[in-house]
Every structure is written in C-alpha cells, then in structure tokens.
Amino acid sequence: MRFRRRQKDEPEINLIPFIDVLLVVLIFLMLSTTYSRFTELQVTLPTANAETLKDRPTEIIVAVSGDGRYSVNKMPVDGRSVELLTTALSAAASGRSDTVVIVSADASAAHQAVVNVLDAARRAGLSRLTFAAQTPGNGR
C-alpha cells in the first residue's frame, strides 16, 4: 500500500470578512459625521471701541528683582521686610479693595521673595493677584 503524501497547504487569510467590517465602519462614520456649513449663517460681528472701557480696575505692579529687592509701581521699597512691603502696597492701593496686584518677578528671584509679596498683599487686604510673564520670543 502506497499512501500519497499530502501536500502542505499554505494557510490562507480570508480578507472578505475584514473588508465587510471595514465597509460597515466606513458607512457608519459617513452617516454619523455632521458637516458644518458656514455659508448658511450670515453673521455680522459687533465692533468694539477700546477707549470706552471706563471701569478698569486699578493696578499695582510689584517688581521683584533677582536679589530680592522690591519696587511698587516703579518706586523702590526701602528694605526687604513684609511690613515695609505691606505699607507700600496699602499706600499704592489708597483704600480701594478692588485693586489688582501684578507680581512681576525676575526668573532668578528667590521663591521666598515672591511669597513675601503674596503675604504683604494679603495683609494689605488686596485679594486680586496675578503674575506677569513674557513669551520666550521676547528678549527683554
């Protein structure tokens, strides 16, 4: 008896079910996608005049140098204590509590110097604070 050797068949990958699934997904995406049409709405944008802003809050700019010196609205503060900085901030705010304090600290300033500004603003009753920064492209 002589048996024939079966030839080893190469495994086949049937691509038809894969294509069917892809087509169903494609049809689902086509039906569920919404296309916005900007030509349907005619919008006339309002104009603004920048000079009509009258209720702009007062700003106090506190600069902190790299060695820890302070200046409030370009006026140097004598000393580095929180009490002196609180007095200068209170004088600059002139009793207004809606004043915005802008902290402009040098990149090499000590963290404690900035915390002193925040503490002095709290003691002066100024709760609106922000920090000034510059974009990397500006070389001041």
Model pLDDT for residues 36-45, shown as the tens digit of each residue:
555 555 556 6
Domain limits at 67? 57-131
**In-domain check, residue 4:** no
Residue 125 covered by a domain: yes
Tens digit of pLDDT for each residue in 51-83? 655 566 688 888 888 888 898 988 888 888 889
Domain count of the fold of the chain: 1
At residue 119 the predicted structure's pLDDT band, cuts being 50, 70 and 90, is very high
Buried-state track 67-103, b at ≥16 Cβ within 10 A, e below 16: eebbebeeeebeeeebeebbbbbbebbeeeeebbbeb
Q: Do the domain assignments include residue 102?
A: yes
What's the pLDDT at 26? 93
| pLDDT-derived band at 32, boundaries 50, 70, 90 | confident
Q: Is residue 51 part of a domain?
A: no
CATH number of the CATH domain containing 126: 3.30.420.270
Residue 120's pLDDT band (cuts 50, 70, 90) = very high
